[in-house]
């Protein structure tokens, strides 16, 4: 036997022995419960698994379109039934099955008989047609279907196209009876692309179905505006609304924000005239968080709107105390809410409890300020000066200092005169 013949014989033996050795490799001995879905007759051999032990949870290693892969067993999948009915497909001749139950199919597709066995197909809607008309379908819509036919919807609802696909909706005839309060805003623009609503009932919360530049959409309604101003709205407020516009409130009341949401309240102009008897109690604490009232009229019964550690709140008044004569200084525009006093009887001498830059504090009355004239003269006034008012009279200055005009405005300076040095 020559060398070429020996080499040919050797290669032939290798070709026969090596595949046999490979095919004799033992597969996994672990067998999970359940049955694989029917294997397609025409299948590939790109294996992603070789045994059930390579699959997570209850999945099994089964034949699929592209070879062996992990699949849920038929017993578990058979419980899933998607909405809709399989279409009528002509043709016979079973070649292979691409699915066993609806759970083998993506999205809303169903596992239906097909001319080549079973395949995932788009279901057809039910033949039952309930009375009524669906709201206008948006042109731009998704296809995540929650129903396919009217028989899948409760009561009188119909299966209609909505923003996110087909879903159960009340027919237009029933919806048209709902009219929410308020008026649609004036929206410029024309050209109806699509309608997101047909009536107010299509819109959530207080939104109304209004004409919009792209058809109809759910918009915040505009309201009738009565004269007056609402009391200050609390920063921490709920959204349980008892009204949406002034036209829903009786008389001169307005729809305003309150503790528990929007409710009818008297406007501030009318409330400011009401002054209930009694004095506010002394309440320790600082920092203004929010106001629950603006005047006494915001408060029920005999409660008064009083400074409180969290701003202003309705409190039980205390009996009136001594009201000292005199007038408090003008209230500054920017003031804090520190409470160093609440009543005149808490202040020494003729001083009164007044609003100041630091909050409520004991201050000299306007009448007393006019009487105070400290000895000495102010320094010469500058040619140019600012508009700050750091003092209003000599009574605002400590020691011998006087309230004089300086470059920044009025401030306390040391007087010029006999026994005094110029500042």
Q: What CATH number is attached to the domain comprising 256?
A: 4.10.75.10
Answer yes or no: is pLDDT of 284 > 60: no
- If one compares 388 and 192, the residue with the highest pLDDT of the two is 388
In a domain, 276, yes or no: yes
* Cβ(303)–Cβ(313) below 8 Å: no
pLDDT at 40: 66
pLDDT at 267: 83
pLDDT at 43: 58
Residue 377 is given by DSSP the state: B
pLDDT at 414: 92
Do 388 and 356 lie in a common domain? no
Do 277 and 209 lie in a common domain? no
Do 293 and 392 lie in a common domain? no
Of these ranges, 192-201, 293-302, 334-343, 410-419, the one predicted with the greatest mean pLDDT is: 410-419
Q: Among the three residues 180, 201, 219, which one is the final residue of a domain in this structure? A: 219
pLDDT band at residue 274 using 50, 70 and 90 as cut-offs: low
- If one compares 24 and 181, the residue with the highest pLDDT of the two is 181
Do 361 and 287 lie in a common domain? yes
For residue range 28-77, list pLDDT tens digits in order.
568 888 888 776 655 566 788 888 999 999 888 887 777 788 988 876 54
In the chain, what percentage of residues exceed pLDDT 90? 3
Mean pLDDT of 223-227: 75
Mean pLDDT of 356-377: 82
Round the average pLDDT of the chain to a whole number and report it.
73
In 184-296, which ranges are continuous DSSP H helix?
A: 268-271
Do 254 and 181 lie in a common domain? no
The Cβ-side half-sphere exposure at 320, using a 13 Å CA radius, reads 6
pLDDT band at residue 214 using 50, 70 and 90 as cut-offs: low
pLDDT at 387: 80
Domain residue limits at 360: 246-369
Cβ atoms within 10 A of the Cβ of 227, count?
A: 10
d(CA 365, CA 326): 6
d(CA 386, CA 388): 6
Answer yes or no: is pLDDT of 373 > 70: yes
Number of domains observed in the structure of the chain: 4
pLDDT at 116: 59
Instruction: List 363's β-bridge partners, or say none.
Output: 352
Of these ranges, 234-238, 307-311, 319-323, the one predicted with the greatest mean pLDDT is: 307-311
Answer yes or no: is pLDDT of 12 > 60: no
Q: Is 14 helix (H, G, I), strand (E, B) or coil?
A: helix
In a domain, 135, yes or no: no
pLDDT band at residue 80 using 50, 70 and 90 as cut-offs: low
Answer yes or no: is pLDDT of 251 > 80: yes
Among all chains, which residue has been given the structure tokens 């759910």?
218
Do 364 and 389 lie in a common domain? no
In a domain, 171, yes or no: yes
pLDDT at 421: 44
Mean pLDDT of 168-188: 69
In a domain, 267, yes or no: yes
Mean pLDDT of 121-125: 76
- Helix (H) / strand (E) element for 13: namely helix 3-23
Do 258 and 354 lie in a common domain? yes
Answer yes or no: is pLDDT of 394 > 70: yes
Answer yes or no: is pLDDT of 366 > 60: yes
Q: Of the given ranges (122-131, 159-168, 331-340), which has the lowest mean pLDDT?
A: 331-340
Q: Is 254 helix (H, G, I), strand (E, B) or coil?
A: strand
Do 264 and 363 lie in a common domain? yes
- Reported for 215-218, long-range contacts at CB under 8 A and 24+ positions apart, including other chains, are 215/136, 216/136, 216/192
Domain CATH number, residue 392? 4.10.75
Q: Of the given ranges (10-14, 22-26, 41-45, 208-212), which has the lowest mean pLDDT?
A: 22-26
Do 304 and 391 lie in a common domain? no
pLDDT band at residue 410 using 50, 70 and 90 as cut-offs: confident
> What's the pTM value of the predicted model, to 2 decimals?
0.23
Q: b/e map of 232-243 (b: 16 or more CB within 10 Å)?
A: bebeeeeeeeeb
Do 303 and 345 lie in a common domain? yes
In a domain, 24, yes or no: no
- If one compares 198 and 141, the residue with the highest pLDDT of the two is 198
Do 353 and 389 lie in a common domain? no
In a domain, 25, yes or no: no
β 117-121/110-114 pair status: antiparallel
pLDDT at 336: 66
d(CA 192, CA 215): 4
In a domain, 14, yes or no: no
Do 333 and 269 lie in a common domain? yes
pLDDT at 273: 57
The dihedral built from the CA positions of residue 146, 151, 156 and 159, taken in this order, carries a sign that is positive
């Amino acid at each position: 036997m020559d060398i070429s013949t020996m080499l040919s014989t050797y290669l032939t033996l290798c070709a026969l022995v090596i595949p046999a050795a490979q095919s004799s490799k033992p597969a996994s001995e672990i067998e999970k419960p359940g049955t694989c879905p029917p294997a397609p007759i025409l299948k590939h051999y790109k294996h992603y698994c070789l045994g059930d032990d390579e699959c997570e949870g209850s999945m099994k290693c089964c034949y699929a379109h592209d070879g062996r892969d992990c699949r849920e067993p038929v017993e578990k999948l058979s419980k899933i039934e998607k909405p809709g009915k399989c279409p009528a497909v002509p043709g016979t001749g079973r070649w292979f099955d691409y699915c066993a139950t609806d759970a083998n199919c993506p999205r809303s597709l169903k596992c239906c008989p097909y001319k080549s066995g079973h395949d995932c197909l788009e279901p057809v809607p039910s033949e039952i047609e309930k009375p009524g008309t669906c709201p206008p379908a948006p042109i731009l819509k998704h296809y995540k279907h929650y129903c396919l036919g009217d028989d899948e919807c409760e009561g009188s609802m119909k299966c209609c196209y909505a923003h996110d696909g087909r879903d159960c909706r009340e027919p237009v005839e029933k919806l048209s009876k709902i009219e929410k309060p308020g008026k649609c805003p004036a929206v410029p623009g024309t050209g109806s692309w699509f309608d997101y609503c047909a009536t107010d009932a299509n819109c959530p919360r207080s939104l109304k179905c209004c004409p919009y530049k792209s058809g109809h959409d759910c918009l915040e309604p505009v309201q009738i505006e009565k004269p007056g101003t609402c009391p200050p709205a609390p920063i921490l407020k709920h959204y349980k609304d008892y009204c949406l516009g002034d036209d829903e409130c009786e008389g001169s009341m307005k729809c305003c924000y309150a503790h528990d949401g929007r409710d009818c309240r008297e406007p501030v102009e009318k409330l400011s005239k009401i002054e209930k008897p009694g004095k506010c109690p002394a309440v320790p604490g600082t920092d203004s968080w929010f106001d629950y009232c603006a005047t006494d009229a915001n408060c029920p019964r005999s409660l008064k709107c009083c400074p409180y550690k969290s701003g202003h709140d309705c409190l039980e008044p205390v009996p009136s105390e001594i009201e000292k004569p005199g007038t408090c200084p003008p209230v500054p525009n920017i003031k804090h809410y520190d409470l160093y006093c609440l009543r005149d009887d808490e202040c020494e001498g003729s001083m009164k409890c007044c609003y100041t830059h630091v909050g409520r504090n004991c201050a000299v009355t306007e009448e007393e300020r006019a009487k105070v004239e400290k000895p000495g003269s102010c320094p010469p006034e500058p040619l140019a000066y600012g508009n700050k008012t750091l003092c209003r009279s000599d009574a605002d200055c400590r020691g011998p200092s006087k309230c004089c005009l300086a470059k920044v405005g009025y401030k306390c300076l040391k007087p010029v005169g006999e026994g005094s040095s110029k500042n």
